[in-house]
Amino acid sequence: MLLAVFQELFTWIMLLIILLNISQRKFPRTEKKRKATILLAVDFLVVYSIIAILSATALPMWLGWVCVAIGIIIPIVFRFQFWPFRMHCSKCGKRLDYNHIVGYDENLCQDCYFELHPEEKRAEEEKKKTPEDKLEESFVNADKVDDINWDQWEPTERCVLTYVTDGDKILLINKKTGLGKGYINAPGGHIEIEETKTEAAIRETKEETGLDVSKLEERGTLYFQFKDGLRMIGYVFFTSTWSGTLIDECDETKPFWSDISALDYSSMWEDDRLWLPLALSGKKFSGYFIFDDLEMLDSKVVEEDDEEPVIVLDEDS
């Protein structure tokens, strides 16, 4: 009777233990638990073999029950070697998933393990990063302009700046809200979806100053990488053709005329002093900048070859 029961269960139990041991191989840090499944298999095999021998001889079968008892007692006595499996995290008590029950010797949930091993958490997060994630991270971590591959760099925001001149005067604004609040700048703002940069320049100038501008000349392109991940490209326009009445102020800005010879660069973004003199002299340029909030970390301004100015009104240049 005892042999019949073991014969019926033996194949299935051994198959289950073997499959469990094989599945444990895909989990790191599972040496103790893999050893435990082998010990359980050996224990069960020894008990089965002794009972089979007893059944084939004239020895009394009560010895088989003794063998079964010993086969149960040994795993109990050496339970830490035979049964290192736990249903709950040994640190926080959270119920473990199947993978952490049969694998991972420390019996910790993922959160608790990473709390104790932050370096492995970073390595795991690194594995999950896509090429796009790594590229974006390289932009954010760059401290020098030359550290960035600008051919792969793509802006998250596009904006315009429009400098309106009237003889020896230039139209500026005091920024009252948003990025650069408190700074002196040119009228400008974001390029809306399905809007060209020229259309945006005309619209933003009208909204912030009340003036209608035309015959815009594009003189420069600004590339800004911020440490918080913001990537902004700005197009710099100039014009001396305008009409209308200057408003006193609006919710976002307070416009005013300034003498070009008396520009207050100390009240502007740090980069302005590097490229605005070029733009005022009619030069074309490209500027590359890295900012940490309002602090400029690095910069490069490249003066472009002299070209005939491109004048546009209501279409992209």
Q: If we measure between CA atoms, which residue out of 248, 177, 180, 187 comes closest to residue 212?
A: 187
Per residue in 234-287, pLDDT (tens digit) is: 999 999 999 999 999 888 899 999 999 999 999 999 999 999 999 999 999 999
Per residue in 147-167, pLDDT (tens digit) is: 999 999 999 999 999 999 999
Q: What is the structure's pLDDT at 75?
A: 80
Amino acid identity of residue 70, one-letter, is I
- The domain limits of the chain are 2-127, 145-312
Instruction: List all residues 6 or more positions away from 194 whose beta carbon is below 8 Å from its beta carbon.
Output: none
Confidence of residue 307 (pLDDT cuts 50, 70, 90): low
At which residue do the structure tokens 């390595």 appear?
Answer: 123
Instruction: Give the alpha-carbon dihedral of 271, 275, 276, 279, to 10 degrees.
Output: -160
In angstroms, rounded to a whole number, what is the distance separating the alpha carbons of residues 271 and 293? 13
In angstroms, rounded to a whole number, what is the distance separating the alpha carbons of residues 190 and 197? 9
Q: What is the mean pLDDT of residues 165-179?
A: 94
Q: Residue 258 in 3-state DSSP? A: strand
What burial class does residue 30 get, using C-beta atoms within 10 Å of its C-beta: 0-12 exposed, 13-18 middle, 19+ buried? buried
Instruction: List all residues 6 or more positions away from 148 whose beta carbon is below 8 Å from its beta carbon.
Output: 138, 139, 142, 225, 288, 290
In angstroms, rounded to a whole number, what is the distance separating the alpha carbons of residues 32 and 105? 6
Residue 22 neighbours by CB distance under 10 Å: 11
Strands 216-226 and 253-259 come out as unpaired
In angstroms, rounded to a whole number, what is the distance separating the alpha carbons of residues 19 and 231? 52
Residue 290 neighbours by CB distance under 10 Å: 23
Q: What pTM was computed for the model?
A: 0.65
Alpha helices in the chain (DSSP H): 2-24, 31-56, 62-77, 79-82, 98-102, 110-116, 118-128, 131-141, 197-209, 272-280
For every residue of 105-131, DSSP letters joined together read: TT---HHHHHHH-HHHHHHHHHHH--H
What burial class does residue 207 get, using C-beta atoms within 10 Å of its C-beta: 0-12 exposed, 13-18 middle, 19+ buried? middle
Q: What is the structure's pLDDT at 277?
A: 96
Residue 186, CA distances (Å) to 76, 173, 204 in order: 80, 6, 10
The architecture of the domain spanning 145-312 is Alpha-Beta Complex (3.90)
Confidence of residue 316 (pLDDT cuts 50, 70, 90): very low
Q: What is the mean pLDDT of residues 205-209?
A: 96
Amino acid identity of residue 301, one-letter, is V
